[in-house]
Every structure is written in C-alpha cells, then in structure tokens.
Amino acid sequence: MPNKNKSFNIQQRRYIGSKYKLMPWIKKLLLENTQGTSFFDVFAGTGSVTEEMLDSYDTFYINDFLYSNEIIFNAFFSNESYSESKLTKYKDEFNSIQKRQYDDSYFSDNFGNKYFSMHDAEVIGEIRERIHLSQDINKREKSILIASLIYSADSIANTVGHYDAYRKIKGIENKFNFRLIKTIDTEGKNIHIYRSDANELVSKISADIVFLDPPYNSRQYSRFYHILEDLAEWNKPELFGIALKPKPENMSDYSRTKAPEVFDDLVQNINAKYIAVTYNNTYEGAKSSSSRNKITHEQILESLNKVGKTQVFNKGYRFFNAGNTNLNNHSETLFITEV
Ligand SMILES: C[S@@+](CC[C@H](N)C(=O)[O-])C[C@H]1O[C@@H](n2cnc3c(N)ncnc32)[C@H](O)[C@@H]1O
C-alpha cells in the first residue's frame, strides 16, 4: 500500500510509453553523442525525459498536446513560486471531505461504481470543483493541486493503468486519499511549456537537441487517458459508450497510416544541431494491428538522413503489456542525427 502522506514523484504514473526506465541508457547516449545547452522534449508525455536531463542543459522546451500533461508540466517544472503552507491547508481540507457540497454529480454519475467507488468519485468531483472555485491561488498552485488530484485519482483507479476500460468488479473499495506532488527544483533553468501539435510547434522553436518520442502504434493517448483530460479541463463534456469517453479530440496522426509522412514533415521543419528519436521496435513481432508500429525503422532513417548523419542504437527490454499477463520481449531503438 502507498504511504498515505508520501508525495508523488513525476514518474509515479502508469503511462504507456514512459521512458523513465530507459533513461539511464538514453541519457548516457545523448551525453556521449550530442553537445548543447538547450533541449526540446517534443512529445514529453509524463515529463520523465526532461526530468532526467534537467542537470545537463540550461533551457528546456516541454510539449505535449494533452491538457493533463500540460498541467502536470506546469505543476512540476514551472519557475513560478508557490506557497507550501497554502497547499498543505488545501490538502488537509480535501482529505476531510465526506460528501459533495459545491459540485454537481457529473463525475460520480459517470464514473462512480465504474472507474472509482461511488464515494471516491464524489470526493474527486468535489475536490476538482473546489479547485475550480478557489480564488486565493496562483497559476502554479492551481496546477499543483490539479496535478496532485490527477496523480491521486490515477493511483487508485479501477483499471489496468489506462481508461480504455474499467475492471468489471462489484463493490469497488473506497481508496482515495489526496496526496500532493513533489515539485522539481528548476531554479536557474529557463523552462518553456507548450500544449501544441508537434508539427505546428517545431518550426517556431530552435534548440540544440530536439528529442522525439512519438506514439508508435494506433492507440490514441487522448482516448486512453480521457478521464485525466476531463479532470484537467473540467468542462464536463457529454460522454459516450461503455468506457464513457467524450467526443474525439487530439487524435494523433502518429497513430494513423499517414504517420511516416507526418514524421517526415516534422523532421524537415526542426531547427536543431541534433535530433534524437526513440521508437519501439515491435514492427515484426506485434500480433494485433493496434500494437503494430506505424513507422518502420527504414522510414525513420530515410527522413533523418535527409537532414544529417545518423547513428542507431538498440536496447532490448521487457515491458508489461496492459490487459495481458504476458511479459513480452521488445526492444527500443534510439536514432541520433547530427544535423
Ligand atoms: C510515447 S509518448 C511519450 C512518452 C514520454 N517520452 C515519457 O517518457 O513519458 C508520446 C506522447 O506524444 C503525445 N502526442 C501524440 N501526438 C502528438 C502530437 N501530434 N503533438 C504533440 N503531442 C503528441 C501523446 O500525448 C503522448 O504523451
């Protein structure tokens, strides 16, 4: 059981494609094969890559097109100051909530007895509404409270780690406890945070090292993490289907058949000294079409070789396939191009 008072570190999330465990390998290769002072994490996801590279550069550009990830980046990395005592006051208040007072029943009507127990869903909705109504917090404090709610809810959700489905069980236990995130010291660093489509953003930014970790199969992140998006945005959209998803938004071209073209366009528009790409290597082995790679390694190399000279590194690793009890052997490839 997690310690009830312990704060969440940035990588304490179940997130498909998180590179946290691969970072010792990636970081070593980046430091050995590139040089520079600025780093652009274009598909930043959890932010774990930026966190691990933080001591190596002065300037960071951090981007992902999901609302929840942008809030999480602001919460962990922003330079804006915040009051620890104010956050603790909110944490104590939130942990004493027993029933809804300000919120309507949107969150519990939709997600109670499904993704969370009914009681936990009521408390989560109530906390989100109170954050929405609060007047005495700055943007950083608001981001920290929402990110903390996202981590706290995600850590106890009745799922296999994403929100494509919930576990069909009766009598879901009440488990929710509001825990704060542990912010990251970014003093002295220049931090720029974006929520943009990667292809629209790259031409506007120039950085020494541009790091690309796009989705590699047809599973759409905005569909897998829709409840976290609901909590981040809090505009209570109409929901559909058994998994209770909103209308599609932020559907990635990297998860579609046009991925090779979109990737090529991205690479051609990057302003960098080095481009690093990490991509999963399941093209041959994947059984289901949804888990098959969208871009082949040959296509990645072809795009990269148009802009510079590329080195290729491979690493075998084992990963847990959500919803499936098999541990599969997969490998990751890191491409580093000197432009
Ligand atoms: C493989 S994950 C990145 C994981 C990340 N490196 C980490 O360690 O957590 C890919 C990310 O790209 C984001 N994404 C997908 N398509 C995008 C697009 N067109 N523009 C910006 N972000 C996108 C997804 O939301 C997802 O977080």
SS3 of 92-105: HHHHCCCCCCCCCC
Q: Are strands 271-280 and 309-320 parallel, antiparallel or unpaired?
A: unpaired
Query: Is the beta carbon of 48 within 6 A of some atom in ligand 1?
Result: yes
Q: Is the pLDDT reported for residue 317 higher than 90?
A: no
Query: Is the beta carbon of 294 within 6 A of some atom in ligand 1?
Result: no
Best probe residue, ligand 1, of 39, 64, 217 (max atoms within 8 Å of C-beta): 64
Query: Is the beta carbon of 163 within 6 A of some atom in ligand 1?
Result: no
CA 253 to chain centre: 17
CA distances from 257 to 28, 69, 124, 303 (A): 33, 25, 38, 16
Atom of ligand 1 nearest to the CA of 211: 6
d(CA 22, CA 126): 37
- Predicted local confidence at residue 67, as pLDDT: 98
User: At which residue do the structure tokens 């079409």 appear?
Assistant: 289
- CATH class, range 18-67+190-218+256-339: alpha beta
| CA-wise closest residue to 66 among 130, 129, 17 | 17
Query: Is the beta carbon of 18 within 6 A of some atom in ligand 1?
Result: yes
How many angstroms does the Cα of residue 195 sit away from the middle of ligand 1? 11
**Bridge-partner residues for 336, per DSSP?**
276, 311
d(CA 316, CA 151): 29
Q: What is the mean pLDDT of residues 201-224?
A: 97
Query: Is the beta carbon of 215 within 6 A of some atom in ligand 1?
Result: yes
Q: What is the mean pLDDT of residues 79-89?
A: 97
Reduced to 3 states (helix: H, G, I; strand: E, B; else coil), residue 21 is helix
Q: Which amino acid is at 261?
A: E
Least confident of 168-172, 318-322, 328-332, 334-338: 318-322
Q: Is the pLDDT reported for residue 325 higher than 50?
A: no
- Report pLDDT digits (tens) over 91-141: 999 999 998 999 999 999 999 999 999 999 999 999 999 999 999 999 999
Delimit the domains of the chain by residue range.
18-67+190-218+256-339, 80-185+226-244
Best probe residue, ligand 1, of 193, 252, 264, 317 (max atoms within 8 Å of C-beta): 252
Q: Is the pLDDT reported for residue 41 higher than 60?
A: yes
- Report pLDDT digits (tens) over 185-209: 999 999 999 999 999 999 999 999 9
CA distances from 207 to 3, 25, 98, 210 (A): 40, 22, 49, 6
- Predicted local confidence at residue 289, as pLDDT: 73
Query: Is the beta carbon of 145 within 6 A of some atom in ligand 1?
Result: no
Atom of ligand 1 nearest to the CA of 262: 19
Query: Is the beta carbon of 213 within 6 A of some atom in ligand 1?
Result: yes
- Report pLDDT digits (tens) over 252-301: 999 999 999 999 999 999 999 999 999 987 655 555 777 788 999 999 99
How many angstroms does the Cα of residue 5 sit away from the middle of ligand 1? 30
